[in-house]
Amino acid sequence: MDSSSVSKPKMAVLAAFLYTAIMGIGMFYMKTVQGITYGDPAMMNLFWFILIILNALNAFWVTRYFGWQAIGFRPLDRQQLLWFLPSIAVLIAMWVVCLSGLSQTSLTAAQWQLFAVAGFTTLLVGLGEETMYRGIVLHAFLTTHRVRWAMLVSAIGFSLLHAVNVFGGVPLLSVPAQLVMTFLLGFLFASLMLIPIKYEVAPN
């Protein structure tokens, strides 16, 4: 595909569509073939492989059509990092509580392995989703010089990604609430992504 003939926003939509489709196929395979329901700890043993594929695909899109710096991988000013201190504090507190709880329990080797796989899978989820929706999609639509529109599209794409959870066994009635929640989080995350970066954009 010739990147010069396709606009960045259209390329980003295609990338997000493929990301969502692969995730949906993975959910469907997990539920119908493996008999593993979304939320079952056993899904971690399968899903990390799918997430590696998605992250590799992200790396291809960024390297071939966008560029890492163009999607937000830039040096950050220390003062700008102050905006992230509340989130960092919450994460540190969660890890302290988690590790203190683990230190008081006796886990088997299989349980420690599951814990490690869960941590690795969570890392891949965060890396993949942030690269796609707050990286590729958000920054591609920022080229239209419409910041709120870029944030909206990024949040919608992030929300729709979680609709495929229904293929993994999530009850259909639970999906609307999950879509609303992930949309709001997507809009918030897009805002946080834009804080450290200055853009010369036309007024919305």
Averaged pLDDT for residues 129-155:
94
- What are 83's two structure tokens? 């905006």
Averaged pLDDT for residues 174-178:
91
Rg (CA), the chain: 18
Spatial distance between the Cα atoms of 20 and 124, rounded to a whole number of angstroms: 15
Residue where the block lists tokens 């909206």:
152
- What are 12's two structure tokens? 């980003």
Query: pLDDT per residue over 148-168, tens digit each?
Result: 999 999 999 999 999 999 999
pLDDT exceeds cutoff 70 at 2: no
pLDDT of residue 113: 79
pLDDT exceeds cutoff 50 at 202: no
pLDDT of residue 128: 95
Q: Which amino acid is at 7?
A: S
Contacts of 97 (CB under 8 A, 6+ apart): none
Query: pLDDT per residue over 38-94, tens digit each?
Result: 988 888 888 899 999 999 999 999 999 999 989 988 776 666 667 677 777 888 888
pLDDT of residue 37: 92
Give the pLDDT band of residue 104 (cuts 50, 70, 90). confident
Spatial distance between the Cα atoms of 117 and 106, rounded to a whole number of angstroms: 18
Q: Which amino acid is at 182?
A: T
**Nearest Cα to 167, choosing from 80, 69, 43?**
43
Q: What is the largest CA-CA distance in the chain?
A: 59
Spatial distance between the Cα atoms of 102 and 156, rounded to a whole number of angstroms: 37
Averaged pLDDT for residues 90-114:
79
- Pick 6 or 203 by higher pLDDT: 6
Task: Please give the mean pLDDT across all residues of the chain.
Answer: 86
Spatial distance between the Cα atoms of 51 and 122, rounded to a whole number of angstroms: 10
Burial-class residue 157 by CB neighbours within 10 Å (0-12, 13-18, 19+). buried
Averaged pLDDT for residues 15-20:
97
Residues 80, 72: contact at Cβ < 8 Å?
no
pLDDT of residue 91: 80
Task: Calculate helix-pair angle for 8-32, 147-161, nearest 10 degrees.
Answer: 20
